[in-house]
Structure formats: structure tokens, C-alpha cells
Amino acid sequence: MLGLLFPAAIDGALGILSSPYVLFAILLGTAVGIVFGAIPGFSATMTIILFTPVTIPFEPTVALIFLVSAYGGAVYGGSIPAILINTPGAPGSIVTCWDGYELTKQGRAIYALAVSAIVSGLAGLIAATFLLVFAPPISDFALNFGNPEMFLLAVFALTIIPAAKGSSLSKALLAGAFGLLIGTIGNDPQLAQPRATFGQTALLEGVDFVVVLIGLFVLAEVFWLAYRGTVVTGDNTVQRGASEVYDAARAVVSRPVGFVRGALIGTFIGSLPGAGADVANFVSYNEAKRWANDELADRFGSGIIEGVIAADSSNNATQGSALIPTLTLGIPGSGATAALLGAIALHGLNPGPGLFDASGDIVYAMILSLFVGNVLILIYGLAGSQYFGKLAYIPIRYIIPSVAVLAVVGGFAVRNAPVDLYIVLLFGLLGVLFVVYDYPLVSLVLGVILGDIAESGFVTGWLLTGESATAFLFNSSIAVGLLALIALSLVVTAVKN
């Protein structure tokens, strides 16, 4: 049936997926993702970023499928320390702590972990289905985008972040504009004259956004860990045995509404630029509470399984849907998808509206690998969460220096340029500043990522439309639609502020 819907590329994708290397990449990637996600302080974003340089020698298909699998695994893995030691492995699992850790205190850690694995895997499957169904028509539509439309799309992506995140309008726009400006460092696209390169040859090419990501999402996080630490309140007695897993399966099956609601909320929120697992699990938890009767609503936070279901069904569902704008438009909605986009570019594919057209088989293989990956999350999670759980107890004092070293090495490995190490450090410090003063990190990253698209869209569009503002802005009905969306998101945010 799939073959009828999407004839050409799917065949190629299935061919890719049937390669033993690729299957191994999914198996290994999912496991690696869960392992690193389970380490406190390691988010899905960090896992993808730090493994990207390691994938350089591999074929793009193997490398990208490995990273996509690791992404899914890490989102699930983040819930393990949340449940066991009340420390979310990533921001997307903060809410998982609230009921999950209470269950651990009652001795029911295995039960909570099993529920988490089941809902994560199933919600991931639901979101992957959405991705498979919606991405192709959106990417077809995106092929109609000309140069002015690409510029407006970049502007829209930056203006919708504060609307989706509820952050300050001026801060989000400043961060985004600064990111765009960072994106113009290097030779200009028309005449190849150097702009703000500080005399560094490596910067003629511009600031590589993977390097920026490493600074903002890895090194800054390490600096934060050094200040914040984690609270490991060790040994709780744990009930073991198959009955806990059986109970878990029953708990999910008897609460289909809660699970599907969480998955749909996650899918929807994940598809918005700027909002990912971190927002989805809060919204899903609040909705679960709102839908519950008074008696049940009061017990949220006291260790009820509804809380775990609400949190973990939503955070894993964001993965599939966050890939929709990332793969179809080249606009990543979150740190993790930005990191994946970096990997896509690093492996010689051209992210953006043409991606499905040019590399359809690889893209479909990535999408289809999500189905395998999420089944694996279920299997790994049910069979091995108590073993993965041991990782949650790795002392943070070992994590801090190790990740710092990996950030530095990874920053260098991107393009072998010593100046990139200083850029990593600089953005590490900037990341801390952003968190302290509540600037959206995603705006800055997205600005840097979209810099090239925005600039060539603007310059090429401007020159080809005869250098007239009206011809540029009203180039097509798509452009007018984008203008309206930009205005709408600005107004919404201004009113919210």
C-alpha cells in the first residue's frame, strides 16, 4: 500500500533499509541513544551533536539513520533518570519526574520505567505515521517557494518562536537577528568579499552552525551542570519481576485516551518551530490534569501512572513531527532537529525544500527507520530499563569533564579549524547568559542556520524582482500568505507579552 502512495522513492528507501549495515545502525543507534539519554545531563540534542563527528566516515544513509535512531532513543532515555533519581536526563523529561519519581519512592520503579517504554514507543509510532503522511505533500508544496518566499519563510520561522514559546518578543527577535548577523560572517555570496572574519581564513566560509550548536547546547549545558549539580538520592527498594512489566502493559491499555491525547499533543507541538519535547510534556500533563475528575486531578504528582503516561507519550511524539518542518522546509524546530539538520548538511545533502526531490530515498529511509526504532525502544525499554537505569547513577563529576572534552574535540572535528574551539567557548558562555536572562536559544541557533537561506533568498529575489519592494514582497500568493503569518505571529506575541 505504501508503494502505491509514494511510488518512486519508497522503493529506494526500502532497499536502503534492507541493508544489514543500516539495520545495525538502527539497532545500535537506538541503544546508544537510550544509554546517553539515560545519563543525567545528557539530552537528545547533546547526543546527536556529539555523535555527529563520529559519523563522518560513514555513508550518509548509515550515518543519518544512526543519528535519527539515537535521537528517538535519547528522548526515551531521558525519562530513565527522571523516574529513578528525580533528575530529568533532558528538559523533555522534567514532567516525568513528578509522578515517575514518586512511583520509585513507592518501590515501583520498574513499573514506571516499563510504562514509560511502552508509551514512548507507541507514541513515537503514531508521530512517525504523521510524518510519513504529511511530509511528502508539504515538501511538494514547498517546491513552489521562490527566492522571496524562502526569505519570508526564514523571517516567519524566527517570529513564530516567541509566539510558540511565550518568550519576550524583543528578546526573541534580538536573538534571531543576532543569529542571522552571525550567519553573514564570511564571504558574501555575490562577490565573495570577506565580512567580519577577524582575519581568520576558516571564517571566510562563515561560522559553522554545528559549532554554534556544540557551544550553545553542549558546553553551556556543562557549565550549567557545574553550577546546578544533580541530586542523587540513591537506593530505593525496587520491586522486580515480570509482574511489574505486565502491570505496566495493562496500565497503558486501560488508559487509551490518556495515551492517545498525549501522543497527539506531542505531535502537534513538536511540529511547531521553537517548541519541542520540553514544551509538549508540560502541556500534555496539564491537559491530562484538566481532563481528569477532581479526585484524580488532586492525585497528580503523588505517583500516579496517568502522570507518567501524559509526560512520556507527549515527549516521544515530538520527534516524528519535529522532523516535518526540518525535512520539508529545512527549518528545524528544536535543538535536536537543528543538530540533525547539521548532520544532514555535513553529509553532503542539501537541507531545504529540495531535499525530498534530490535525496528522496535517504529521507524516506530515515522516516521509515523511525518505525523500526520506536519498536526497538519498546523492546529495549521493557527488557533492559533496569540495566540502563544504572547509568543514572554515574556521578556528575565524571560527566562534566568528559562532556567538556567531547565538546571541544567535536567542535574541532567539524572542519579541523582551531578557531572553531574559541567559537565553541564563546557560544558556551553566551548559552549560559541566554538561560539566565531567559532568551530563547532556539532563536539564535535558527538565525545562524537560516542565515544562508535568508541571505540568498533576499539578494537573489531582490535582484530578480527588479529591486522593487512591492514586487519582492508580493511575488506570489505564497509570499502574501507568509507575510500574513508573520504579522499574525508578531501580533499574537505582542498581545501575550
398 binds other proteins (CB under 8 A): yes
Site for other proteins in 271-300 (CB under 8 A): 278-279, 282
Side-chain-side CA neighbours of residue 390 (13 Å): 2
Least separation in angstroms between CB 137 and other proteins: 20
DSSP state of 195: E
CB of 176 to other proteins, least distance (A): 9
Q: Please answer whether residues 25 and 65 qualify as being in contact, where contact means their C-beta atoms are separated by less than 8 angstroms.
A: yes
Cβ nearer to other proteins, comparing 260 with 421: 421
Asked if 107 and 236 touch (Cβ cutoff 8 Å), the reply is: yes
Q: Which of 141, 189, 254, 379 binds other proteins (CB under 8 A)?
A: 189
10, 22, 36, 43: residue in contact with other proteins (rule CB under 8 A): 43
Can residue 171 be called a binding residue for other proteins (CB under 8 A)?
yes
Chain positions 335 to 364 lying near other proteins, rule: CB under 8 A, are 347-349, 354
Task: Say whether residue 243 binds other proteins (CB under 8 A).
Answer: no
Supply φ then ψ for residue 11, to 5 degrees. -55, -50
Q: Which three cell numbers stand for residue 327?
A: 525535512
DSSP one-letter string for 66-117 = HHHHHHHHHHHHTHHHHHHHS--SSGGGHHHHHHHHHHHHTT-HHHHHHHHH
- Element (H or E) spanning 194, and its range? strand 194-195
- 156: how many CB neighbours lie within 10 A of its CB? 22
For strand 186-187 and strand 194-195, is the pairing parallel, antiparallel, or unpaired? antiparallel
Given candidates 375, 400, 473, 488, which one binds other proteins under the rule CB under 8 A? 400
Q: Tell whether residue 187 is a contact of other proteins (CB under 8 A).
A: yes
Q: Does 415 bind other proteins (CB under 8 A)?
A: yes
Q: Which of 243, 248, 282, 232 is nearest to 262 (CA)?
A: 282
Closest C-alpha to 353, from 363, 366, 368 = 363
Instruction: Provide CB contacts within 8 A for 345, sequence distance 6+.
Output: 351
**Which residues, 442 to 471, sit near other proteins by CB under 8 A?**
442, 454-456, 458-460, 462-464
**Under rule CB under 8 A, residue 224 binds other proteins:** yes
Bridge partners of 194, per DSSP, are 187
| Residues between 50 and 89 that touch other proteins (CB under 8 A) | 53-54, 56-57, 86-88
Question: What is the C-alpha separation between 71 and 468, in angstroms, rounded?
Answer: 44
- 239 near other proteins, judged by CB under 8 A: no
Strand partners, 187: 194
Tell whether residue 234 is a contact of other proteins (CB under 8 A). Answer: no
Query: 284 — phi, psi (to 5°)?
Result: -60, -40
Cβ nearer to other proteins, comparing 21 with 246: 21
Number of other CB atoms surrounding residue 398 within 10 Å: 10
Stretch that binds other proteins, among 4-12, 167-175, 261-269, 286-294 (CB under 8 A): 167-175
* CB-based contact 95:279 (threshold 8 Å): no
Q: Which of 325, 326, 327, 330 is nearest to 13 (CA)?
A: 327
Between 90 and 157, name the residue whose CB sits nearer to other proteins: 90
* Residue 483 makes contact with other proteins by CB under 8 A: no
* Closer to other proteins by Cβ: residue 41 or 381: 41
Report 244-273 residues binding other proteins (CB under 8 A): none
Does position 375 interact with other proteins (CB under 8 A)? The reply is no
Q: How far apart are CA 210 and CA 449, in angstroms?
A: 9
Out of 210, 219, 344, 365, point to the residue binding other proteins (CB under 8 A): 219
Question: Is there a contact between 395 and 344 (Cβ–Cβ < 8 Å)?
Answer: no
Find the shortest distance in angstroms from Cβ 343 to other proteins.
13
Instruction: Pick the closer one to other proteins by CB: 121 or 179.
Output: 179
Closer to other proteins by Cβ: residue 396 or 478: 396
Instruction: Single out the residue of 3, 18, 137, 188 in contact with other proteins (rule: CB under 8 A).
Output: 188
Figure out which of the listed residues 21, 397, 484, 491 binds other proteins, where binding follows CB under 8 A: 397
Nearest to 426 by CA among 250, 274, 212: 212
Question: Is the Cβ of residue 4 or residue 191 nearer to other proteins in the bound state?
Answer: 191
Q: Which residue's CB is nearer to other proteins, number 228 or number 250?
A: 228
Listed residue (448, 490, 471, 486) closest to 148, CA to CA? 471
Instruction: Give dist(CA 232, CA 395) in Å, integer.
Output: 9
The least CB distance from residue 345 to other proteins, in Å, is 9
Q: What residues does 186 pair with on adjacent strands? A: 195
Indicate whether 39 belongs to the interface with other proteins (CB under 8 A).
no
- Per CB under 8 A, does 488 bind other proteins? no
Q: What angle do CA 233, 405, 351 make, to 5 degrees?
A: 100
Question: Least CB distance from residue 245 to other proteins, whole Å?
Answer: 28
43 or 321, CB closer to other proteins?
43
Of 190 and 254, nearer to other proteins (C-beta) is 190
Binder to other proteins among 168, 271, 319, 326 (CB under 8 A)? 168
If one asks whether residue 105 binds other proteins (CB under 8 A), the answer comes out as: no
Restricted to residues 315-334, the positions that interact with other proteins (CB under 8 A) are none
Q: Which window, 4-12, 103-111, 379-387, 400-408, contacts other proteins (CB under 8 A)? A: 400-408
Q: Is 411 helix (H, G, I), strand (E, B) or coil?
A: helix
